[in-house]
Amino acid sequence: MQNSKTLAIILGGGQGSRLSPLTQSRSKPAVPIAGKYRLVDIPISNCINSDIKRIFVLTQFNSASLNKHIKNTYHFSTFSTSFVDILAAEQTPENATWFQGTADAVRQCMQYFLNHDFKYALILSGDQLYQMDFNDMITRHEESGAEISIATLPVNAKDAPGFGILKTDTDDWITAFTEKPKPDVLPDWTSPVSEEMQSQGKHYLASMGIYVFNRELLVKLMSDPTTTDFGKEIMPQSVGKHKIRSYQYEGYWTDIGNIDSFFEANLELTDEIPQFNLFDNDNRIFTRARVLPPSKIIGTSTISKSLIAEGCILNHCTVNHSVIGIRTRIGRDSEVHNSYLMGSDFYQNLKEIYTNLEHRVINIGIGERCYLNNTIIDKNCRIGNDVKLNGGKHLPDSDHELYTVKDGIIVVKKNATLPDGFVVE
């Protein structure tokens, strides 16, 4: 069954500089998460689980790997109207600029959206981690007679200044909107929330960057080229002019905006009962189907509180509170703590491995007697023997040829080679 009323539009985001160096060679939605997925798989999976199967992904930076992932992943029946299509920024006779903001991205692509029959446009971000039934939001939008609905998350006074904050009445109609308010004005911005949220001190409603627009109003709003951003312009200017409703969401949601939040979101998946549930039959996360062997544990290895993806080979090693991505190799007597290893895009064959060992060339994966703590190892990295990477708050932010340090997290860059004995501590 397919929701024929709704067209989904996923915003791929800008340059993603706060997630650098993970975004140096890929767009933000293409960043690997949880060892085997990409960030873009989250909003697409939420759409598919909600029977919304006409999906556009808008992007403009480093989109090659994202294009490849979507092309190889999301295939529907030849005889259905379902699709997941990429719309990259392009120059036209009418517009010679790249996307100038979230609203401008939608405006520049309107001609493609209007080729489809839809009543509601569901606009999503490509860099958030959550599981939501969009059908419930759309049903409430339709039944209330709203023209715009905004998904909102109750937050506390500490977090509120980092968001667009909405003020609602008792019927969830939005009466005011402010972008990133200062702490001293927060007492004027409380909204009705559930008793459970009140008990947690969450009295403020933050915009989640998830919107439902009536088609006619979206077309009207996009006709004004002076507005370029939904959060900063479209929403504040629409309050009082259009019927805007809040859809309160109390589940798990996090914005993958920087290295620290990305790192924390991945390691939280190793919790005994994580807030984001990868094992939910009703909310499956879809991704590219790979033909990989099971992971193999050689000898006596210790693995605790970790996720191990397919196709890994762990050899007499210790893995604790970490996420180990596809095709990862970890050498004898190495230790991995509080880290995210993204893995590899391919296997080296045995002949290549032995030839490299003979000529002292470092193979893909983690070598022997290594110690990794508070690290992110990007795809296809070659970590030599006796390498020590001990991240933590004692390390200042810095950028180097092979790695970057942000918020105490050591991020080894994609395809980097760290020589034997390399140390960062």
148-171 pLDDT per residue, tens: 999 999 999 999 998 999 999 999
Structure tokens at 365: 């994966």
Task: Look at residue 423 in the predicted model and tell me its pLDDT.
Answer: 97
The C-alpha angle with vertex 275 and arms to 274 and 281, in degrees rounded to 5, equals 80
The whole-chain average pLDDT of the chain stands at 92
Tens-digit pLDDT profile for residues 14-42? 666 789 999 988 888 899 999 999 999 99
Mean pLDDT of all residues in 41-48: 96
Mean pLDDT of all residues in 175-192: 91
* Better pLDDT: 177 or 59: 177
Task: Look at residue 220 in the predicted model and tell me its pLDDT.
Answer: 94
User: Which CATH architecture describes the domain 6-258?
Assistant: Alpha-Beta Complex (3.90)
C-alpha 22/C-alpha 18 separation (Å) is 9
Instruction: Fill in the amino acid letter for 52.
Output: I
Residue 353 has pLDDT above 60, yes or no: yes
Q: Which CATH number fits domain 296-424: 2.20.70.10, 1.20.1420.20, 2.160.10.10, 2.60.40.10?
A: 2.160.10.10
Phi-psi region of 188 (alpha: psi -120 to 50; beta: other; left: phi over 0): alpha
b/e burial code for range 375-406 (CB count within 10 A of at least 16 → b): bbbbbbbbbbbbbbbbbeeebeeeeeeebbbb
Task: Look at residue 126 in the predicted model and tell me its pLDDT.
Answer: 87
Which range (56-65, 224-233, 273-282, 361-370) has the least confidence?
A: 56-65
Percentage above 90 pLDDT, the chain: 75
Other C-beta atoms closer than 10 Å to the C-beta of 151 total 23
Cis peptide, bond prior to residue 21, ω within 30 of zero = yes
C-alpha 317/C-alpha 344 separation (Å) is 18
Mean pLDDT of all residues in 197-211: 94
Give the pTM: 0.93
Mean pLDDT of all residues in 177-202: 92
Mean pLDDT of all residues in 48-63: 88
Which range (57-61, 92-96, 290-294, 322-326) has the least confidence?
A: 92-96
C-alpha 86/C-alpha 10 separation (Å) is 9
At residue 422 the predicted structure's pLDDT band, cuts being 50, 70 and 90, is very high
Task: Look at residue 296 in the predicted model and tell me its pLDDT.
Answer: 96
Residue 347 has pLDDT above 60, yes or no: yes
Tens-digit pLDDT profile for residues 235-269? 888 998 999 999 999 999 998 889 999 999 999 99
Residue 99 has pLDDT above 70, yes or no: no
Which value, to the nearest 10 degrees, does the dihedral of the CA atoms of residues 328, 329, 333, 339 take? -20
Residue 304 has pLDDT above 90, yes or no: yes
At residue 272 the predicted structure's pLDDT band, cuts being 50, 70 and 90, is very high
At residue 373 the predicted structure's pLDDT band, cuts being 50, 70 and 90, is very high
Q: Where are the domains of the chain?
A: 6-258, 296-424
